[in-house]
Structure 1
Amino acid sequence: MKNRLILLLFVSLVTLRAAPKPNIIYIFADDMGYGDVQCLNPERGKIPTPHMDRLAAEGMIFTDAHSSSSVCTPTRYGVLTGRYNWRTHLQKGVLWGYSEPLIDADRLTVPALLKQQGYKTAMVGKWHLGMNLPVLEGKPIMDGPPDSRKPKRTHIDWKGEIKDGPVDRGFDYLYGISASLDMAPYIWIENDRFVGTADNSQPTKPAPGFKKDQVLPEIGRKTVEYIEKQDGSKPFFIYVPLTSPHTPIVPTEEWKGKSGLGSYGDFQMQTDHVIGEIMKAVDASDFADNTLVIVTADNGCSKAARIDRLEAQGHFPSAHLRGSKADLWDGGHRVPFIVRWPKVVKAGSTSDQTIGLTDLMATCAELSGATLPDNAGEDSISFAPALKGETIESTRKGVIHHSISGHFAYRQGKWKLLLAKGSGGWTSPTEKQVKKGAPVAQLYDLEADPGETKNLYESHPEVAERLLKQLESDVSRGRSTDGAAAKNDVAEIELWKSGK
């Protein structure tokens, strides 16, 4: 009997180790607010999103997921490295289309980690993390300042090799663009080469055949094409950073007028449609049951969506949350996070556990059977247990938020401390608009006050001090998880941007 039990245990362990690793599809919307998904905002959301709603019904909604920043580039850095962006030289703001790479060559990324575990890796969409573009001999990359959103003249070698982009940071295949669609250059990139040529004398002019309103549907088509080529012999990871509903807000002709809420509503509906097309390809495959699909966003809805007009029509892009893109308030960084994995995730389930987008790294490590080295994923914990309805085992004390201007906030349990007098971003009152004599910081009890309306900073100094000390520790140690102390890339990180 004893030998039989040992044999059964051995067989179980072998079976567990031999279990096929899940395919992972990470669909990353751009500037999509928490309330822009109908099922997350049923009372105050007016934009139909049937495909994301279906994904949620067949999978799990995380109600307390946060981007590591309330703007684009820094969040993308966190997703792919499991590390906060402000540990690098990028202390505020974003990169541009011609920027040099933010991810160091020796920094482990999610796709590089998964490649080590036998995965095929691909990216289709918007990079926005910098790359070294080829230039004509003896020329600077552009006339004037070396890093501009819209330069007057560039000196790009359109036939040259692009270096330190996605294919040098872990991806086997790339089809995408260097940054946002409101930043030149406007030209497709495949692997390490431009697709065609653009005009250096007119950098803001799209390359021949490149149409901004066709970028979103092309991302969808290329993603579907990649999925349809997979035969299930090897697991795959595909990262799909969409260009929507970010500016320019350019729904194609067939989507104009669909929402009745203006072009932003139409573009969000088209975004949902593209996600639906990707899901059709997964469902038509032989590996749908063991494919983990994640749909999320890099930050909250942008002011460019004309939030005031949307709210006047009954649609609230941030749902019940305060603020929007660029802000420290939750509307800036609490994002939709929907997962489906039929083999593991219970349909129609919900998790209210707090997670961050930096957590993809540790999660992928656990799901693929990898062990993270000490010098990787310093701010990442695995949410894999939550997918099975279990409690996440976190060595991280809290989650750090960051705004466009570099202001910090710290979240631990129900408490949230903001080292800012106002939004820390674009929503009024901004730091410059706050009235004289206002508290130097903000403290909110999110259980009692999810809309962050009652500042408890002066009435609960002991809580504020406890959270501040933990934030200071997480910053100075070079990591927020257990492990050997690490180093930030910069000598000093300023926590109090508005003064204390």
Structure 2
Amino acid sequence: MSQVFSRLLCTSLLVICCVRSSADNPNIVVILVDDMGYGDPGCFNPHSKIKTPNIDSIARDGMRFTDAHAPGPLCHMSRYGLLTGRYPFRTDVSRWPEQPLIEPDQLTIASLAKLAGYNTSMVGKWHLGFQENGYDKSLPGGPTDCGFDSFFGIRASTDIPPYFYIRGNEAVAPPTDKIAGHHSPGWHSNQGEFWRAGGIAPDLKLHEVLPRFTDEAIQVIQEHASNDGNKPLLLYLAYPAPHTPWLPSEYFAGKSGAGSYGDFVMMVDAQIGRVLTALEEANMTDDTLLVFTSDNGPCWYDVDSERLGHDATGEFRGMKADAWEGGHRMPLIVRWPGRVKSDTVSDQLVCFTDFLATFASVMGVPLPEGAGPDSFNFLTALTGQSADDTSVRNQFVMRAGSLPSMMTIRSGDWKLITQLGSGGFSKPKLIEPVAGGPSGQLYNLADDPGETTNLYLQYPDIVAQLTMDLNQTVEEGNSRDSGSDVSSVAVDRSTLTGKVMCGYQGWFNCEGDGAQLGWKHWARNRKQLFAPGNVTVDLWPDLSEFDPDELYDTGFENTDGSPAKVFSSNNRKTVLRHFRWMQDYGIDGVFLQRFANGLRDKVVLQNYDTVLDHVRQGAEQTGRSFAIMYDLSGLKAGEVKNVRDDWQRLSSEMRLTEDAAYQQHDRKPIVAIWGMGFGSKSKPREYSLAECRELIESLKEDGFSVMLGVPTGWRKLERDAIPDPQLHEALKLADVISPWTVGRYRNEEEVAQHMKKHWRPDQRWCDQHELSYMPVVFPGFSWHNLHGGDLDSIPRQKGKFLWSQAIGAKQAGCEMLYVAMFDEVDEGTAILKCTNQPPTGNGGKFLTYEGLPSDFYLRLVGKAGEMLRGEIPRTKEIP
């Protein structure tokens, strides 16, 4: 038994007890190719001059990741991060030629799989070092000492001597012969049929290595299927190609449009096809999670692209070893039949270090403390199902391949490189800064994926923030949040039970945000500057965390005389930030408001769809959930059908409800309809109850759950409800009832009365009719600037008012809550971060959070969810 496995076994008994039956776990096959670029496979680059039918077939049957990164842009750096879940800059990777990079007690994907009851095998290129004492002796520190039951492969690349095969930890035959160095005319010195001079074993022929590894991998698959089918298999197949030397067989010579490199890529693709066939013949395909990717960028120069018309890195700049995207942005595909939807694409930020945490979640094994410090679980991006220890990667840190002083950090759309130049094989590797010029590189990858425009001097605040984040990641030694806060766990999207959901208006626009809607919901006259005298909001958001490209100047001034700024919901970065706040404080998700009276306005509808797209991304990236809520307010007779038409477009054409993050109830996607049953005989709404009922029936027929936003007096057909008994018959068709309560009570005493008079009997009525019940709670209310009412007309009482409602709902037996609202600063009901120092001056008065921290209400709503689910005790005092 290897040293690492022995130590892990002794210290992980609790882990083993928690592991589900190994029969429930899929086989895992990781195929890592060598030096293949993002632009080589046809499924990532439709203009590729290389045919890759087998890789393309994996993409057709699985999920492509468009923002996946090697943890380092060189072979040994990338492999270290892949196996250990730790950034390679945290160790001395230069010692690999003589010493192992992986420590004896360091967890790897293989030793993790052993704990979960897997058979583990590796075939191919190791390149992570052995304890070298001569090749006629054993080679400690390799794969079999890092969790693999078996290993057949080579020490490093097929251009780095000595060249010999290894089985287990012994050389099959020592490298007693000699081979002269070689390179190809017409290519750069490190391209073509390039290999270095050195020792070589008599039984190893360089052109036979690639197919030999395929033979070995197929044998592993066949033996596993025949001998030990009850235990799942982890196979790590690390091909040493299309790394140099480029040695395509005669069959592939001249077949591509990218020279001998492209021919060799085609040969690699064919070898992968043999592995896929072996899995199929062994009846293992349906039970196997298959990962395909490359270790780093290709060795491909600009002159190669110009000469052959093939961009091996696609649209990205740079190549192998570079800090630029071409050095480390990799083609990544995951196929898992029945769990990962076929022919799908994810833009989730992923690093190879994330395989460890993700495989742990797949296997049902908690990561031991300290293991995989830079590994984030992206299982939710694959399947949408919640998993223990799920964290979402928002940043990525890397060291350049040829310049140890050059570091890179990626955060959101922004990428900072700490020095000038490529840091790798592209020229120039390093550029010394000049006086008055930038000393580093800053790119916005959303606008500039080719990294052509350096924004380092234009955005000093972003440079400062990213530099601080980078230093923190390097110094702390752990980039993954190791806490047990609920925010680190993705929510279960299958039910609303136990959820605290917020209303998300998403209706704030600014001049210059691209929506062409002016200052909508900030100003009374949206076509004029949002300034004193032209204002509708009663709270001012805290923007201290926002980046400059999220801020829009107003006509107001801060207390220091600087221009006051606000945000736009049309800005993707801002919506994603809001969702990160939800994740940070354990808020489950949102109902995105979609106002039906704007569906026929093309400009407004485009803005609705833009915000919806941001929300979809935010929920996916943070493990939160979202659902659509249509607000019928303002519709005329006959216009409810507009909602039906729009929902069909969202659910069918935009495939909204297929999102893993889309909220369900009773395991069916839920759509909320707000505004049914409001009015009276003297003041009815123009759209009819019959129209609403027809909409509900059609939604139910199509297999959706329906939530109805109804008046407070819905049960007794009084107060704000229409006095029509047919309302009850229509409500019985729904799945969830949610009565509106904003403004219906004003203090803690009235909350207690409301609970007794409404929530408790409402809950009983819903229980009797097998409906779920979701009361609405709110933190306070004010619409002074919007309607001229009293400022702070329903005081927040430093959170006591909101907390009393959460307590009342729990006492009434309610199992879910709707918080009005996340971002509603218009009427003073927002819970997002708001400032205690709003702008000063005439023409607008603003509330504060009474001196409380700006995140107070986010935290309080998160605690309300914990209390609702019984995770913390129900106490009158605010936790």
TM class by shorter chain equals 0.7 to 0.9
SS in 2 for 1:317: coil
Distance between the aligned counterparts of 1:26 and 1:95, measured in 2?
26
| Paired position in structure 1 for 2:167 | 190
Alpha carbons 2:23, 2:232 under 8 Å: kept: no
Distance between the aligned counterparts of 2:469 and 2:216, measured in 1?
44
Q: Which of 214, 218, 228 in structure 1 is aligned with 2:222?
A: 228
- Note the 1:411-450 alignment, pairs <5 A: 411-432=410-431, 438-450=437-449
Distance between the aligned counterparts of 1:311 and 1:411, measured in 2?
29
Query: Given the two structures, how large is their TM-score scaled by the length of structure 1?
Result: 0.84
Deviations 1:237-269 (A, max 9, x none): 011111101111111222221214311011000
Q: State the Cα distance separating 1:73 from its structure 2 match.
A: 0.5
Distance between the aligned counterparts of 1:204 and 1:45, measured in 2?
35
SS in 2 for 1:34: coil
Distance between the aligned counterparts of 1:17 and 1:188, measured in 2?
36
Q: Which of 162, 183, 197 in structure 1 is aligned with 2:139?
A: 162
Task: Name the aligned partner's letter for residue 261 of structure 2.
Answer: Y
Distance between the aligned counterparts of 1:414 and 1:376, measured in 2?
28
| Paired position in structure 1 for 2:67 | 64
- Note the 1:97-246 alignment, pairs <5 A: 98-135=97-134, 156=135, 158=136, 160-199=137-176, 204-231=198-225, 232-246=229-243
Q: Which of 273, 277, 280 in structure 2 is aligned with 1:276?
A: 273
SS in 2 for 1:255: coil
Distance between the aligned counterparts of 1:129 and 1:194, measured in 2?
16
| Paired position in structure 1 for 2:511 | none
* 1:88 and 2:91 matched: yes
| Paired position in structure 2 for 1:22 | 26
Distance between the aligned counterparts of 1:433 and 1:311, measured in 2?
28
SS in 2 for 1:428: coil
Task: Name the aligned partner's letter for residue 413 of structure 1.
Answer: G
Alpha carbons 2:177, 2:202 under 8 Å: kept: no
Alpha carbons 2:34, 2:296 under 8 Å: kept: yes
Q: State the Cα distance separating 1:433 from its structure 2 match.
A: 7.4
Comparing 289-298 with 398-407, greater Cα deviation is found at 398-407
Alpha carbons 1:255, 1:267 under 8 Å: kept: yes
Q: State the Cα distance separating 1:437 from its structure 2 match.
A: 5.7
Distance between the aligned counterparts of 1:313 and 1:474, measured in 2?
41
SS in 1 for 2:329: coil
Distance between the aligned counterparts of 2:55 and 2:128, measured in 1?
27
Alpha carbons 1:60, 1:345 under 8 Å: kept: yes
- Note the 1:478-497 alignment, pairs <5 A: 478-483=477-482
Q: State the Cα distance separating 1:161 from its structure 2 match.
A: 1.8
Comparing 116-125 with 390-399, greater Cα deviation is found at 390-399
* 1:353 and 2:348 matched: yes
Rate the CA distance shift 1:18–1:222 in 2: closer, same or farther, 3 A: closer
| Paired position in structure 1 for 2:252 | 255
SS in 2 for 1:263: helix
* 1:294 and 2:297 matched: no
Q: State the Cα distance separating 1:208 from its structure 2 match.
A: 0.9
Distance between the aligned counterparts of 2:361 and 2:385, measured in 1?
15
Distance between the aligned counterparts of 1:435 and 1:242, measured in 2?
43
Q: State the Cα distance separating 1:472 from its structure 2 match.
A: 1.0
* 1:370 and 2:365 matched: yes
- Note the 1:383-402 alignment, pairs <5 A: 383-389=378-384, 393-394=390-391, 396-402=393-399
Percent identity for Structure 1 against Structure 2: 42
| Paired position in structure 1 for 2:53 | 50
Distance between the aligned counterparts of 1:255 and 1:205, measured in 2?
28
Q: Which runs of 5+ in 2 are unaligned?
A: 1-17, 180-196, 484-879
Task: Name the aligned partner's letter for residue 62 of structure 1.
Answer: F
Q: Which of 313, 321, 329 in structure 2 is aligned with 1:326?
A: 321
| Paired position in structure 1 for 2:612 | none
SS in 2 for 1:175: strand
Task: Name the aligned partner's letter for residue 322 of structure 1.
Answer: R
Distance between the aligned counterparts of 2:40 and 2:393, measured in 1?
30
| Paired position in structure 1 for 2:310 | 315
Q: State the Cα distance separating 1:432 from its structure 2 match.
A: 4.1
Q: State the Cα distance separating 1:397 from its structure 2 match.
A: 4.4
Distance between the aligned counterparts of 1:443 and 1:432, measured in 2?
15
Alpha carbons 2:37, 2:330 under 8 Å: kept: yes
Rate the CA distance shift 1:477–1:112 in 2: closer, same or farther, 3 A: same
Q: Which runs of 5+ in 1 are unaligned?
A: 1-13, 136-155, 485-500
Q: State the Cα distance separating 1:312 from its structure 2 match.
A: 2.5
| Paired position in structure 1 for 2:282 | 285
Alpha carbons 2:373, 2:480 under 8 Å: kept: yes
Task: Name the aligned partner's letter for residue 37 of structure 1.
Answer: P
Task: Name the aligned partner's letter for residue 412 of structure 2.
Answer: G
Task: Name the aligned partner's letter for residue 416 of structure 1.
Answer: K
Q: State the Cα distance separating 1:286 from its structure 2 match.
A: 2.1
| Paired position in structure 2 for 1:77 | 80
Distance between the aligned counterparts of 2:158 and 2:48, measured in 1?
26
Distance between the aligned counterparts of 2:279 and 2:107, measured in 1?
28
Distance between the aligned counterparts of 1:423 and 1:35, measured in 2?
19
* 1:267 and 2:264 matched: yes
Distance between the aligned counterparts of 1:105 and 1:80, measured in 2?
13
- Superposition RMSD in Å: 2.2
Alpha carbons 1:60, 1:339 under 8 Å: kept: yes
Alpha carbons 1:296, 1:335 under 8 Å: kept: yes
Alpha carbons 1:422, 1:434 under 8 Å: kept: no
Distance between the aligned counterparts of 1:229 and 1:448, measured in 2?
50
SS in 1 for 2:278: helix
Greater relative contact order (CA < 8 Å, ≥ 6 in sequence): 1
Query: Given the two structures, how large is their TM-score scaled by the length of structure 2?
Result: 0.49
SS in 1 for 2:162: coil
Q: Which of 27, 31, 35 in structure 2 is aligned with 1:31?
A: 35
Q: State the Cα distance separating 1:390 from its structure 2 match.
A: 6.6
SS in 1 for 2:263: helix
Q: State the Cα distance separating 1:386 from its structure 2 match.
A: 1.2
Distance between the aligned counterparts of 2:159 and 2:480, measured in 1?
36
| Paired position in structure 2 for 1:491 | none
Distance between the aligned counterparts of 1:45 and 1:397, measured in 2?
30
Deviations 1:402-442 (A, max 9, x none): 21122211111111111121112121332147777641111
SS in 1 for 2:144: helix
Alpha carbons 1:396, 1:480 under 8 Å: kept: no
Task: Name the aligned partner's letter for residue 223 of structure 1.
Answer: A
The number of residues matched between the two structures is 442
Q: State the Cα distance separating 1:74 from its structure 2 match.
A: 0.9
| Paired position in structure 2 for 1:473 | 472
Q: State the Cα distance separating 1:87 from its structure 2 match.
A: 0.8
Alpha carbons 2:350, 2:393 under 8 Å: kept: no
SS in 2 for 1:123: strand
Rate the CA distance shift 1:435–1:110 in 2: closer, same or farther, 3 A: same
Q: State the Cα distance separating 1:279 from its structure 2 match.
A: 0.7
Distance between the aligned counterparts of 1:219 and 1:17, measured in 2?
31
Alpha carbons 1:35, 1:316 under 8 Å: kept: yes
Distance between the aligned counterparts of 2:460 and 2:53, measured in 1?
45
SS in 1 for 2:39: helix
Q: State the Cα distance separating 1:313 from its structure 2 match.
A: 2.1
SS in 2 for 1:400: strand
Distance between the aligned counterparts of 1:479 and 1:409, measured in 2?
16
Task: Name the aligned partner's letter for residue 457 of structure 1.
Answer: Y
Alpha carbons 1:298, 1:335 under 8 Å: kept: yes
Distance between the aligned counterparts of 1:188 and 1:299, measured in 2?
23
| Paired position in structure 2 for 1:493 | none
Q: Which of 44, 66, 69 in structure 2 is aligned with 1:40?
A: 44
SS in 2 for 1:294: strand
Distance between the aligned counterparts of 1:458 and 1:479, measured in 2?
30
